[in-house]
A = this chain, B = another copy of it.
Amino acid sequence: MTSRLFGAIEAGGTKFICAVGDSSGNISKRVMIPTTTPEETMPKVFDYFKEIQKEIKLASVGIACFGPIEPDPKSLNYGFITTTPKLPWRNYDIVGKVQKALGVPIGFDTDVNGAALGEYRWGAAQGLDTFIYLTVGTGIGGGGMADGKLLHGLMHPEMGHIFVPHDKQKDPFEGVCPYHKDCLEGLATGPSIQKRWKVKSALDLPPDHEAWDLEADYLAYAAANYTLILSPKKIILGGGVMKQQPLFPTIRKKLIAYLAGYINQSLILEKTDQYIVPPGLGQNSGICGAVALAEKAYGE
């Protein structure tokens, strides 16, 4: 018997990644489609999967989607991308459209909750009921689980935008967030690094540049706040900025310093390298997460 196969859509703000995956987290037939308008992007997505459906039966399709979205199945707007600043996508019924085009059950959540679920199934969060997945790239987004369930609530977390201490004497940069200026995303996202240090890409800065110590400052404050509010068993840090690997030990050291012994847990104080970790799935958290969302939709 062959393994059950799932369609996976990692719907990002700049590109859609579509693929096929199985219950072991294996990914195949991956394509990349640029995110322009729904009218242009979505038919390519549909065509890709329709071609696949000619030869393969897809059990379901998962969509790990840029937000904000409406993930509550009880809501009238379930399955919509809602108030995104990407105007063509605002109030777009992505679940409805994909469901209609492909005729299979659809799993749906934020890109970061998807990635969290992927890490839970096959990556760094296996066996953990409470953890956080944060991506630090062109934006900062976070998802995760509490007691085995993906974080939802009123909407879904937007934990990239939390407020952290900003010492303006040390770092007079005003921040790039169009909403909050110097929230975490405003201070620590890739574009903020580019603008503050006047470089084309954050990763152009050498590992010993002071930019990285400052970056670790903000991410350590964020990790401290996540720790204090959700009490996670792991914080997974992914995304382009985190490719600067020396960030990890610096964030761990600063996190311990900021918490100052208040959370007396050996995982945080001694085994910090098991607490603040890169994604187990590397670049694949998101697309594997879409597979996991599909799997969940099929199972339910």
Contacts and interface: CB of A to CB of B under 8 A. Distances in A.
Nearest to A165: B163
Given A153-B130, A232-B154, A258 B163 contact: yes
A146 B154 contact: no
Contacts of A129: 153
Interface string A157-201: 111011111100000000000011000000000000000000000
A80 interface: no
Contacts of A41: none
Interface stretch (A57-65, A243-251, A259-267): A259-267
A231 B165 contact: no
A230 B263 contact: no
A24 interface: no
How many copies of this chain sit in the oligomeric assembly?
A: 2
A288 interface: no
Interface stretch (A15-23, A204-212, A220-228): A220-228
B151 A149 contact: no
Given A147-B152, A155-B263, A230-B230, A164 B161 contact: no
A278 interface: no
Nearest to A85: B262
Nearest to A233: B154
Given A146-B146, A147-B146, A229 B162 contact: yes
A129 to B, nearest CB: 8
30 contacts: A82-B264, A130-B152, A130-B153, A142-B229, A146-B146, A146-B147, A146-B151, A147-B149, A147-B152, A147-B153, A149-B149, A153-B232, A153-B233, A154-B227, A154-B231, A154-B232, A154-B265, A155-B265, A156-B231, A157-B228, A157-B230, A157-B231, A162-B224, A162-B229, A163-B164, A163-B165, A164-B165, A179-B259, A179-B260, A226-B229
Given A147-B149, A156-B231, 18 more contacts: A146-B149, A146-B151, A151-B231, A153-B231, A153-B232, A154-B227, A155-B231, A159-B229, A161-B228, A162-B228, A163-B221, A165-B165, A179-B259, A179-B262, A180-B260, A226-B229, A229-B230, A230-B230
Which 4 pairs, one residue from A and one from B, show the smallest C-beta to C-beta distance? Answer: A153-B231, A130-B153, A146-B146, A83-B264
